[in-house]
Structure formats: C-alpha cells, structure tokens
Structure 1
Amino acid sequence: MKLVKFGLGAAAMALIATGANAQGGPTLNTVKERGTLLCTGHDGSYLGFAEVDDKGAWTGLDIDLCRAVATAILGDPAKATVIPISWAQRWPALQSGEVDLVVKASGATLSRDAELGLQFSLSYYLGTTKIMAHKSLGLSSLADADGGTICIPAGTTQQQQIASYTQKLGITLEPVIIEKTEELEQAYFSGRCDLYTQWGPVLAIARAAKGNVDEHDILPDVLALEPEVIVMRSGDDNWIDIANWTLSALWFAEQEGIDSENVDEIKADPPSPEIAKFLGVNPGMGTPLGLSDDWAYNVIKQMGNYAEIFDRNLGEGSPYKMDREMTALWKDGGVLYPYLID
C-alpha cells in the first residue's frame, strides 16, 4: 500500500497491517540488524532544524524527529546516527542506501516523487518561501527589486521558485547560488546580495541570530507554500508506515496531554482503551508495524511529544522564540492531526 504523500492537508487514512508488516519490511530489518538508524544531517548549521555545537553534538527539529524514529525502532534516541550531507547529495545518498531517511527540511514535489522514485511521510512542518532584503534598499515588495542580486541556496526548490516568481513579475534578478547555509548568509549579510530567498523560518532565525532585525525586511511576497516531509526510498510500505505513525504518535500525545513528564503516571492508569493501547498497556500498537507494543511510550518518554520537541528547538525554550502558526494541532488552529488508534 502506498500512502498519500502530500502533507498536512491530506485526509488521514486507516493503515492496514499485513502479515509482511508484522515481520517488518526490508529497511526496518536492515536497521534492526545494523543497530542504528542513519539519517541525513546538514553540511553545516540550519538553525533550529539541524545544528552542531562546538563539541560536535547535533540538535534541532529535524534531528529530534530522526531520533524519535530511532527510538520507535531501537528504543534509544542515541541509536540515531546523523550523517552530514549537502542539499544536492541527499537524494543520491538515500537512493544508494547511505542513509535510511532524509529529514532535512525537504519539500514534497512531483519530480521527487515521479522522477526520482521517492516517497514522503505526512508533513511535519508547513512553511512559506520568502525573501529578505536590506532595509536600506527601501523595497516594499520584490517587484521593486528589478536588476538586483539575490542569494539562493543551491540544490533546493527555491531555485525554481524564484525563477518562476520573477518571470511572473516580469523582472530580472542576478542569482548568487551557494551551497552552504553559513556561506549563503555571509554573502547576504556582507552586502554581496541585495536579497536572500529561503524558507521563511530560516530567514526569521537568521535575522534574529544576527541581532540587527531592524536592518532587514522580510518582504510580503510568498513564493511558495511548502510541506516539509520525511523522504524515503519507494517500495517499502512498512517503512513509510513507521515514519507516519511516529509523527502521528507525537501529535496524538500532544492532543491527549501526554508528555515526557506525565507519561509514566498515565501509563500506570490509562484513562481510555485507546491510550492504553497507545502506551503499550494493551497489545496491538507495535506488532502490525514490526515494532514492540511499547514503542510509542518509549518515544514520548525519551523525546517528548511534538510540542516539547518544537519548543526546545524553535519555540519558547529555544533562542528563536518562534510561534507554531500553521504547524500547530488542529484544536489550536493549525493543520496537524494524528491518525486514529483503534
């Protein structure tokens, strides 16, 4: 079975567990035998999503989602191995088996699906592609920037998005294509580029990190709305199911008020059969996926629910203080929702 690949607006589907799934698919079995989950990291810092500190430790939303999947499978977030890979090399690395998952702020696109033969999870973050400009230029929108220079991250959807958008506006910009995020931001903030196009959250974080918010405008233009997804090789439905159910577990726990602090108390006295099954008190949560029945409990106990993960990496518990906006639960006005547990 091939799940719906496009993100947060897709209707939740009932996942039918087969006998093959109960034994685990080929990727799951490989990960279990290896004893570690191989995930993409960034070849540098992508603040809030993947960062490396001066001791070589990884943090970020993308990193924690990789660790959540590792915990679901192997019971320990430390069994996630993060491999730094450039934007352009993430697909060859996935296709060759160098990594098991791409969790790298990657959007779901037709070409990646139909031409590269990749499959996507549900979306874990919904963001817009925006443009930042030096305030001194006095721009009110991108239409005022004809003839300017624009920094664009190499190997990303932003290259096509800016090309399409400028064509629609009838303006010409000189692109400056750079691979590494740090070098890209240095080019913009040093004045080499008039403009900088990126995923909106990255622009906001970069501007805040520089400490000179008032010197840079994020223009009102929206180039694209992009659902960020976990990307996997095609042909292993069990692996797609595991990624989707891991995300769903993070959202279900948040919805039900289950977090890393109270999960043991709730497990000791579950308020409903649904939650009893979710936490592994009653059987059935893991076997259909080839996992232990307490896999979701392990994830929430060690990684927290989605709100906890978001808060420590991007929200109030982070240096970036970002709002959830559309990436909130349905009950809070956002677009995230969990699958049903029956």
Structure 2
Amino acid sequence: MKTLKLGAMALVLAMGQFTPAAQAAGGKTLETVKGRGTLLCTGHDGSYLGFAEVDDKGNWRGLDIDLCRAVATAVLGDPSKVTVIPISWAQRWPALQSGEVDLVIKASGATLSRDAELGLQFSLSYYLGTTKIMAHKELGIKSLKEADGGTICIPAGTTQQQQIASYTAKLGIKLEPVLIEKTEELEQAYFSGRCDLYTQWGPVLAIARTAKGKVEEHDILPDVLAVEPEVIVLRQGDDNWVDIANWTLSALWFAEQEGITSKNVDEIRANPPSPEIGKFLGVTPGIGTGLGLGDDWAYNVIRKVGNYAEIFDRNLGAGSPYRMERELTALWNAGGVLYPYLID
C-alpha cells in the first residue's frame, strides 16, 4: 500500500485549473477516484493502536485502515488501491475541504460545529465509544472529582478538549491541561509521570495500558465524559459519495448479520438462500446501479476485506493483541447498536 506525505500530495493536486481536488470538492468524488485509480484516505500521523498502525516498512493496519480498504474495494474492486496519507488531527478538516483526501476515517466524531460550521457530512456511526479518563493507580483516585488540581494529558485538536472542560466545570474542579497532538508523545508524557491523568477515547486507553503491559498500574475511572459516535467524514454537496460510504458500512453489517464471511461468500453466492442475499452478492442485478458501481461491489468487499466481525476481530478483538469486546459496537441482535440497511 502506498503512503504519500500531505505536502507532496498538495503539490500534485494544486496543478491545473481543473484538478482532481477541485473536481472532488465540486461533488464528483466517485468520478475523480475512478479516474485516479486510488482512494486517498487519511491515516493517523503515528500509531493509533487497533485503529491505525504503521510498521517500520510503511505497512498500515487497523480498523480505520480496513474501512478505507473496504471503500476502495467497493469503488475500485481492489483493497490495495488506497493511498494512506498521514495527517494530524488539526489538519484532517482542511485536507478534506480542499480535496486533498477523499474522506476521513480517523476515529472522528460527528459534531454540530463540524456539520454546520465546517461544512462536513457524516456517515453512519461505525464505532460507538465513550470518552474516559485513566489515572496512575498509586494516586488512589477513584473518580475525577478527587483529582482537583492535578495535571491531565489531552490529545490536542480533538473533541476531548471540549469534553474535559465541560465535565470539570460541572464537577467544580480545575485541572492543568497538557495538550499534545501525537498519540505516541501523549502516551509517553502520561506513562512517564508528566501527567496524573490521561483522557482519551475509551478503547484507546484500554489498548494503551494493555500494550504497555501495565494494566495493574493504571485505573480507568468510572466517569464517562461523553458518548461519541465515530463516523466517516465527507464533504457536503456530494450525496452519492456519502451514499457509497454508508452502503459500504451497511454491507459489512449485513454480511455479518447473515453469516456471510470472506471464507464462505463464494459458496453462498453460488446458491443464494434468499432473493435479498442474491441481490446483495450481485447474482441478481441492481445493487450497484444507483450508486454508480458494479453489481459485484458488495461481493468484492466481503470476499477481499471481510465482514465487520472479521475486521473487528483481527484489529481489536480476539484475533488481535488487544482482545477487546465489541460491547455497544456489536450488531443489534447481539446487544449492540449497529444495524444494516435493508436490501430490496
């Protein structure tokens, strides 16, 4: 998988009056991606364990990365046709607005200001997580109210800044913020003792203390600062592109719901058990027509990337080092909140 620095990509996309960036920003993202032959997807500017990790050879993996691959497969038929562009939290919106990336899949929440003020649009939520706080066990802190006057590491340029400000104001306490943008540097500051507390998206905290081998040395406090739906973020004004993002997610959930996996999809396609599944797998025409895609797009996604359960398990769940439970990010029929659209 190719990786290209943002500055170089900006230079390429700035050339000419009718550039791919300009076309994408004007509502022709699908046409632009097909013409380019690769999907430009945001990556984290460093590791965000379980969601976006890059090894020393430049290979990316993680839940967010696999969702980029799923969209690329739906559009281009090939999960390798993704260019992952490392972008900071603060620069993800300018990069999207300018057309330098086609979408943002970067553990990003849907908010009113991002919609109404920045002109962004959101997909369905692909992960529902809570914002939590971790504390050094030796401090003996049982809830955030007991941490008045302490220091707290906060990821700069994220919704956690506003969430901690609002929550501490409600509690009537004051904390000294330590704002750091890169996740690795933020975690180093916390684990080295520079901060008493660390606020982050709950899954990131759980993964961080597991990865460090320090589960017994750090407590995740019971306080819940916010419940945040993580979404694919897109530009407003390109409804077809938003539809493609939503139907790609729905395909992952529908396949899981129906027991269709990367291992059995060919067998099921050869003898579909229902008209709905026949249409979903492209045996019966129609699933791609209104989206500007081929009728085999969902079949390709499941065969080459897997259903949502497969993606979750290998990146966050039982098949990963983190062994996280799905919790709310399970399907509706397994105690969670995810559900697919109907295939009719």
Same fold (TM over 0.5): yes
Q: Deviations over 1:62-90 (max 9, x none)?
A: 00000000000000000011000000000
Q: How far is the alpha carbon of 1:129 from its aligned partner? A: 0.1
- The one-letter code matched in structure 2 to 1:61 is L
* Cα distance in 1 between the residues matched to 2:184 and 2:274: 48
Question: Are residues 1:296 and 2:293 paired?
Answer: no
* Cα distance in 1 between the residues matched to 2:191 and 2:113: 32
* 3-state SS of paired residue (2:230): strand
* 3-state SS of paired residue (1:87): coil
Q: Deviations over 1:192-243 (max 9, x none)?
A: 0000000000000000011011110000000000000000000000000000
Structure-2 residue corresponding to 1:98: 100
* Cα distance in 2 between the residues matched to 1:169 and 1:176: 19
Matches within 5 A, 1:294-333: 294-333=296-335
Q: How far is the alpha carbon of 1:51 from its aligned partner? A: 0.2
TM-score after normalising by structure 1: 0.93
* Cα distance in 1 between the residues matched to 2:236 and 2:139: 46
* 3-state SS of paired residue (1:317): coil
Q: How far is the alpha carbon of 1:55 from its aligned partner? A: 1.2
* Cα distance in 2 between the residues matched to 1:319 and 1:268: 35
* Cα distance in 1 between the residues matched to 2:141 and 2:186: 21
Structure-1 residue corresponding to 2:78: 76
Structure-1 residue corresponding to 2:164: 162
Structure-2 residue corresponding to 1:181: 183
Match among 236, 242, 245 for residue 243 of structure 1: 245
* 3-state SS of paired residue (1:66): helix
Structure 1 outlier segments of 4+, above 6 Å: none
Q: How far is the alpha carbon of 1:160 from its aligned partner? A: 0.3
Q: How far is the alpha carbon of 1:296 from its aligned partner? A: 0.1
Q: Deviations over 1:278-297 (max 9, x none)?
A: 00000000011000000000
* Cα distance in 2 between the residues matched to 1:173 and 1:333: 36
Q: Deviations over 1:84-134 (max 9, x none)?
A: 000000000000111001000000000000000000000000000000000
* Cα distance in 1 between the residues matched to 2:141 and 2:335: 32
Question: Are residues 1:121 and 2:161 paired?
Answer: no
Note the residue ranges of structure 1 that are not aligned, 5 or more in a row. 1-24
* Cα distance in 1 between the residues matched to 2:289 and 2:167: 48
Structure-2 residue corresponding to 1:223: 225
- The one-letter code matched in structure 1 to 2:283 is V
Note the residue ranges of structure 2 that are not aligned, 5 or more in a row. 1-26
Q: How far is the alpha carbon of 1:247 from its aligned partner? A: 0.1
* 3-state SS of paired residue (2:123): strand
Structure-2 residue corresponding to 1:280: 282
* 3-state SS of paired residue (1:78): coil
* Cα distance in 2 between the residues matched to 1:294 and 1:213: 45
* 3-state SS of paired residue (1:130): strand
Structure-2 residue corresponding to 1:46: 48
* Cα distance in 2 between the residues matched to 1:293 and 1:276: 11
Q: Deviations over 1:149-200 (max 9, x none)?
A: 0000000000000000000000000000001000000000000000000000
Structure-1 residue corresponding to 2:3: none
Q: How far is the alpha carbon of 1:245 from its aligned partner? A: 0.1
* 3-state SS of paired residue (1:120): strand
Structure-2 residue corresponding to 1:194: 196
* Cα distance in 2 between the residues matched to 1:157 and 1:144: 23
Structure-2 residue corresponding to 1:88: 90
RMSD, aligned α-carbons: 0.5
Matches within 5 A, 1:5-154: 26-154=28-156
* Cα distance in 2 between the residues matched to 1:45 and 1:26: 31
TM-score after normalising by structure 2: 0.92
Could you say which structure has the greater relative contact order, defined with CA pairs below 8 angstroms and 6 or more residues apart? 1
* Cα distance in 1 between the residues matched to 2:245 and 2:220: 33
* Cα distance in 2 between the residues matched to 1:201 and 1:236: 31
Structure-1 residue corresponding to 2:267: 265
Structure-2 residue corresponding to 1:214: 216
* 3-state SS of paired residue (1:326): helix
Q: How far is the alpha carbon of 1:54 from its aligned partner? A: 1.6
* 3-state SS of paired residue (1:77): coil
* Cα distance in 2 between the residues matched to 1:98 and 1:128: 30
